[in-house]
Structure 1
Amino acid sequence: MVSDRGGRWGFVYRSRQAVYRALRRKGASKSKAARISNAGRTHVERSTMSRKAARTRQSRGRKNR
């Protein structure tokens, strides 16, 4: 089970635990899965990150998909 307890039990926001489990199924380590799933807690945070990623790809000259 995923923990939202913190400390040595780790921490993943309850609303993002499904994402954490999906990343673990794909082979991500516990710490990596927690870091990714905790990064975009709200929809606004996730959409902000996606816009930043799009700008980064554009600035590096990658084509749109």
Structure 2
Amino acid sequence: MENWEYKTVKYQTGGFLGGKVDEEEFENLLNEYGMKGWELVSCFDTNAGQGHSRDVIAVFKRKS
């Protein structure tokens, strides 16, 4: 049976009221975890309203 470990990473988009995702910075974050063997399995944002995201939550897994 395979065993998995999971990691949840919070990416902050900016100040108290939220902001827009810096795509290049976010992609670099994802690639950093990918190089360490983590696979992205889910990604969602926490809405700050009016089209802005407060945080982006990325969930990763890898075999332990």
TM-score bracket for this pair, using the shorter chain length: 0.3 to 0.5
Q: TM-score, normalised by structure 1?
A: 0.33
Q: TM-score, normalised by structure 2?
A: 0.33
Higher helix share: 1
Which has the larger Rg? 1
